[in-house]
Amino acid sequence: MFHVDYHADPTDWIPGKILMEEMERELTQKRTHLLRRVSNWMTAVSIFQRIEHKRMVENEPSLRDFEFHKALGTFYHGVGEMLLLELQEQKSIDPKWIGMSFEGFAAAVRSLGYSLRMWHSDMSEAEREGILDAFKREGP
Q: Looking at the domain assignment, is residue 5 inside a domain?
A: no
Which residue ranges in the chain fall short of pLDDT 50?
1-4, 6
Q: Looking at the domain assignment, is residue 26 inside a domain?
A: no
122 Cβ neighbours under 8 A, 6+ residues apart:
none
Compute how many other C-beta atoms are within 10 angstroms of the C-beta atom of residue 102. Answer: 16
Count of domains forming the chain = 1
Identify residue 132 by its one-letter amino acid code: L
Q: What would the pLDDT profile of 65-96 be if each residue is shown by its tens digit?
A: 999 999 999 999 999 999 999 888 877 777 77
Q: Looking at the domain assignment, is residue 2 inside a domain?
A: no
Q: Which residues span the domain enclosing 58?
A: 13-21+34-138
Single pTM value for the model = 0.70
